[in-house]
């Protein structure tokens, strides 16, 4: 069964620090990988989507990289701000399984809870 | 404004009662999904629908039912057979099953 692991589970950093969140997945045959942000008690907001053929995607202070062969992705946040405090979730999509019993093509990690201290 | 809405924000269920959670989208998306989120766990897929009048079970469909009579609506019913329904329920939609999913604000279900 495919699994997505996010390390660390929680992270606390001072404002202004650059930081890296990690995501690993057991089955490297992914279609794409997404990073989401979730604020407490809210839904998810998509931050970045990386196709399997891409190495990285950037949006503002966020940069996500993908190393498909090693089953890893990182989310880099530059110059962190208190407003970045949230849970960050990684999810991978597989190009198979829809309609097949037992396969879920979008698999989520449990997230990393980030606190940026002013 | 285009988006995906869920109602109610909070829902209370009595023992043996069926309750229905609403999910509506005006993004013209074909695919819609229901997830359950428990503290300390990732999202788990309950049901998904790739097109109107069609839906498939996800990882944890037991005790739940859905319908997809309209493209913009995908209601979830939590039946009395679901013995541990307390959770945060998230609805999502996407153009197709390979593209970015857009999430609603969620419904928190509590048992009285």
- CB proximity B5 to A under 8 Å: no
Three-point CA angle B22, A42, B88, nearest 5°: 55
Taking CA atoms, what residue in A is nearest to B5? A43
d(CA A106, CA B48): 11
Chain A residue numbers touching B102 (CB-CB < 8 A): 46
Q: Do B19 and B11 contact (CB within 8 A), yes or no?
A: yes
> Which chain A residue's Cα is nearest to B43?
A108
Do you know the residue count of chain A? 118
* Cβ contact, residue pair B103, A43, below 8 Å: yes
Best probe of the B interface among A30, A42, A44, A64, by most B CBs < 10 A, is A44
Alpha carbon distance A93, B73 (integer Å):
24
Has residue A96 got a pLDDT over 70? no
Q: Is B106 on the interface with A (CB under 8 A)?
A: yes
CA distance B106 to B66: 16
pLDDT tens by residue, chain B, 112 residues:
569 999 999 999 888 899 999 999 999 999 999 999 998 788 999 999 989 999 999 889 999 999 999 999 999 999 998 989 999 999 999 988 778 889 999 999 998 8
Contact A44 B45 (CB under 8 A): no
Question: Residues in chain A whose beta carbon is closer than 8 A to a beta carbon of chain B?
Answer: 4, 31-32, 34, 36, 41-46, 49, 89, 91, 93, 95, 98-99, 104-106, 108-111
Please give the backbone phi and psi of residue A83, each rounded to the nearest 5 degrees, phi first.
-70, -10
What pLDDT, on the 0 to 100 scale, is given for residue A104?
Answer: 60
């Amino acid at each position: 069964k495919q699994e997505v692991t996010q390390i660390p589970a929680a992270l606390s950093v001072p404002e202004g620090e650059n930081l890296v969140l990690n995501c690993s997945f057991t089955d490297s045959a992914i279609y794409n990988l997404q990073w989401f942000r979730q604020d407490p008690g809210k839904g998810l907001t998509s931050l970045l989507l990386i196709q399997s053929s891409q190495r990285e995607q950037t949006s503002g202070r966020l940069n996500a990289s993908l190393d498909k062969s090693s089953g890893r992705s990182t989310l880099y946040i530059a110059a962190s701000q208190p407003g970045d405090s949230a849970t960050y979730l990684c999810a991978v999509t597989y190009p198979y399984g829809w309609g097949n019993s037992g396969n879920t093509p979008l698999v989520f990690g449990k997230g990393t809870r980030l606190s940026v201290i002013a | 404004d285009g988006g995906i809405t869920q109602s109610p924000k909070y829902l209370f269920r009595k023992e043996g009662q069926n309750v229905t959670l609403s999910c509506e989208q005006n993004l013209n998306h074909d695919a819609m999904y229901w997830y359950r989120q428990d503290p300390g766990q990732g999202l788990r897929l309950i049901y998904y629908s790739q097109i109107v009048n069609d839906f498939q079970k996800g990882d944890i469909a037991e005790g739940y039912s859905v319908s997809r009579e309209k493209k913009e609506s995908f209601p979830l019913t939590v039946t009395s057979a679901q013995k541990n329904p307390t959770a945060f329920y998230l609805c999502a939609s996407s153009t197709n099953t390979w593209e970015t999913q857009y999430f609603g604000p969620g419904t928190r279900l509590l048992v009285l």
